[in-house]
Structure 1
Amino acid sequence: MTPPRGASRAKGSPAESGADFRSVEPAPLMLLKGAEDYVAARALDRIKTALRAEHADLEYTRLDVAEAGPGELSTLASPSLFGEPRLILAEDLAQMSEAFLADALRYLEEGGDPDVTLVMRHTGGNRGKKLLDALSRRAVVVDCSPVKSDSDKLNFLRQEFRAAGRTILPDAARALVAAAGGSLSDLGSASQQLMRDVPGDITAEQVDRYFGGRVEASAFKVADAAFEGRAEAAARLYRHAVATGVSPVAITAALARKARQIAALVDHRGRHDQLASALGVPPWQLKQAAETARRWTPSRAADAVEAVAQADAEVKGVSRTPEYAVEKAIALIAAGVGR
């Protein structure tokens, strides 16, 4: 019979509430709390890997808590004849049945089995608040909160590289968020690829080499070049972007975002962090735009906003030649810099 695991799992005690998904250790009772699927999946993979490294005969069961009947959790978690260690995943507590809720509360009250790792996943809502409160006190809680803002994504990147003993330079981190920050899954995969393929510190040039062709990165490059007055470069980047499948709509979206930032900055005399909050952009991004805004006047910024609005209307149906409409807007914007 497999010996009890209570002592060997001291690292995974309830005192580690708020444990990081990168370093969390298995514990008899665990809660993955939050709606970020990528973080929850990483945490679960780590838990499974750690348990299987210790017990090759690990039994893994996914329990449908919405359909669970009376006693189902107790049956799965009850001691087996040969004492095989078990991992039970109870997903989506927001949809749990009354029978599962009663079983889970009873399981917590009785203390569980040291040969069982029970992992529960809660993505939000108030269903089963009594159970959640009890889990918060007794379980190892892994924070799986959504990561949405660019500043949160930058922090995620820094922690990913730090955990791996690697370094990504600040401008490289910003470039990676722009290129692959559509979802945390994309950002995490991009990080792992860079760490696997590139030795040493990660630079912006390396990020551009690997991910510069993505839609978001291509569109932002066009907008940056246009508002910096680099007309030839902006036109070349735009044509390349369109030739590689980037929609003119994506380009006008990037132009519009940059135009709003420039227009807000040319007359702004207060703190950039307050303006960043009002515009819904990270402070570092507005700081970059502020360097460009110094070369603009309020009237020229208004002209640029109007040019982008016209191009946006044309690419969404007004014009029969949307690609030309955007290129015309890019030329008008670039010509307005410093005049």
Structure 2
Amino acid sequence: MPPRASRRTPSEGPDFRTVEPAALILLKGAEDYVATRALDRVRAVLKTQHPDLEYTRMDVSEATRGELATLASPSLFGEPRLILAEDLAHMNEIFLEDMLRFLEEPADPDVTLVFRHSGGNRGKKLTDALSALGVVVDCSTVRSDNDKLDFVRKEFRAAQRTIHPEAARALVSAAGSTLSDLGSACQQLMRDVPEDITAEHVDKYFGGRVEASAFKVADATFAGRGESALRLYRHAIATGVSPVAVTAALAMKARQVAALVDHRGAQTELAQTLKMAPWQLKQAAEIARRWGPREAADAVEAVAQADAEVKGVSRTPQYAVEKAISRITTHLS
């Protein structure tokens, strides 16, 4: 298929924060927040250049024959146009056929076509053609904490702002349930705090949003914050977290501390064995410095006993976990 006239050469794939208008733009991936940010940027740039920009959203699942050609045809007065073809994964055959023909025609420099494909094999021939001829913005789903940390760092770097490493981790914990929440939190901090962002800023703005999860109970427990751990645990139970989930988190933290407390070699292999990211291993190592081998072994035993009790041995499973938390934190009091 020959390239359309006036097309840009294939791109390495711009970041959604920096993408510029082009004749063809493919937003590829399931992360709606990233796709929306990319579209908003393209639209804002075009609107700045052309205040009379005409914007059209096209339902490709119900496209009619010739609809695309009509929308993208040269205007009598040369008004710039932005056309969004949504959800290529559900496009009908009419749109697919029309689009493949459209790519063989000369391009109208006044038209910017943006295509959204959230995933799946439907329309692969079209997405391959768009990838070859246009600009592709990666909108892949962001799930892991490492990816979310990378997202936070890039948000601040793009804005030429600084966020401290511990603040970035705290922000992911506080507002990282969805990328939309995390992005909004980044923007709020940059808008409201003129200086570098610290963990104290994150706690001030978002501390109340941090859910008392099982892992936060475990972190507080092995850091020796007994009162905080018990308070988080009781709140977690009150909001539906099961005692079994808490003992599982405590067991994971106990294994980490036990593995690190007497470790003298390189941490790379240990990180792989414990299935921890480097920054997570660093945090766990800082906690483990306060522990000795005997205390770590006692913590493992306390968690094992609590785990057995919450799984049927005890009639008061919630209290069994409280006893384990108190027993563990006494080593650091």
Superposition TM-score tier, normalisation by shorter sequence: 0.7 to 0.9
CA contact (8 A) 1:59 1:85 kept: yes
Q: What is the distance in 1 between the residues matched to 2:88 and 2:248?
A: 39
- Counterpart of 1:154 in structure 2 is 149
SS of the residue aligned with 1:17? Answer: coil
SS of the residue aligned with 1:206? Answer: helix
> Is residue 294 of structure 2 the alignment partner of residue 299 of structure 1?
no
Q: How big is the shift at 1:30?
A: 0.5
CA contact (8 A) 2:212 2:236 kept: no
Code of the aligned partner of 2:267: H
> Is residue 197 of structure 2 the alignment partner of residue 205 of structure 1?
no
Cα distance change, pair 151–225 in 1 and its aligned pair in 2 (3 A): same
SS of the residue aligned with 2:18? Answer: coil
- Counterpart of 2:23 in structure 1 is 28
CA contact (8 A) 1:58 1:84 kept: yes
Gaps of at least 5 residues in structure 1 are 1-5
CA contact (8 A) 2:175 2:210 kept: no
Cα distance change, pair 251–105 in 1 and its aligned pair in 2 (3 A): same
Cα distance change, pair 312–279 in 1 and its aligned pair in 2 (3 A): farther
Q: How big is the shift at 1:158?
A: 0.9
Deviates more, 1:104-113 or 1:294-303: 294-303
CA contact (8 A) 1:15 1:140 kept: yes
SS of the residue aligned with 1:117? Answer: strand
Q: How big is the shift at 1:50?
A: 1.4
Q: What is the distance in 2 between the residues matched to 1:272 and 1:214?
A: 33
Number of residue pairs aligned between Structure 1 and Structure 2: 325
1:163-189 CA-to-partner distances (Å, cap 9, x unmatched) read: 111100111111111211122111111
Q: How big is the shift at 1:57?
A: 2.4
1:86-116 CA-to-partner distances (Å, cap 9, x unmatched) read: 1111122222222211111111111332111
1:32-86 CA-to-partner distances (Å, cap 9, x unmatched) read: 1111111101001111111222222222222122222322211221123333221
Compute the RMSD of aligned alpha carbons: 3.1
Q: What is the distance in 2 between the residues matched to 1:246 and 1:296?
A: 34
- Counterpart of 2:158 in structure 1 is 163
CA contact (8 A) 1:252 1:311 kept: no
Q: What is the distance in 1 between the residues matched to 2:127 and 2:114?
A: 13
SS of the residue aligned with 2:220? Answer: helix
> Is residue 331 of structure 2 the alignment partner of residue 333 of structure 1?
no
Deviates more, 1:302-311 or 1:261-270: 261-270
Cα distance change, pair 198–104 in 1 and its aligned pair in 2 (3 A): same
> Is residue 304 of structure 2 the alignment partner of residue 309 of structure 1?
no
CA contact (8 A) 1:32 1:144 kept: yes
CA contact (8 A) 2:89 2:120 kept: yes
- Counterpart of 2:178 in structure 1 is 183
Gaps of at least 5 residues in structure 2 are none
Q: What is the distance in 1 between the residues matched to 2:170 and 2:284?
A: 14
Alignment of 1:124-135 (within 5 A): 124-135=119-130
Q: What is the distance in 1 between the residues matched to 2:247 and 2:82?
A: 50
Code of the aligned partner of 1:131: L
- TM-score if structure 1 supplies the norm length? 0.83
CA contact (8 A) 1:255 1:308 kept: no
- Counterpart of 2:58 in structure 1 is 63
SS of the residue aligned with 1:303? Answer: helix
- Counterpart of 1:258 in structure 2 is 253
1:123-150 CA-to-partner distances (Å, cap 9, x unmatched) read: 2222222222221121111111122222
- Counterpart of 1:100 in structure 2 is 95
Q: What is the distance in 2 between the residues matched to 1:27 and 1:70?
A: 25
SS of the residue aligned with 2:62? Answer: coil
Deviates more, 1:117-126 or 1:229-238: 229-238
Code of the aligned partner of 2:199: A
1:287-338 CA-to-partner distances (Å, cap 9, x unmatched) read: 2112323415363243244255357648xxx86774x444333213323569
Q: How big is the shift at 1:273?
A: 3.7
Cα distance change, pair 333–58 in 1 and its aligned pair in 2 (3 A): same
SS of the residue aligned with 1:168? Answer: coil
SS of the residue aligned with 2:125? Answer: helix
- Counterpart of 2:80 in structure 1 is 85
Q: What is the distance in 1 between the residues matched to 2:108 and 2:306?
A: 63
Q: What is the distance in 2 between the residues matched to 1:194 and 1:47?
A: 24
Q: What is the distance in 1 between the residues matched to 2:265 and 2:28?
A: 39
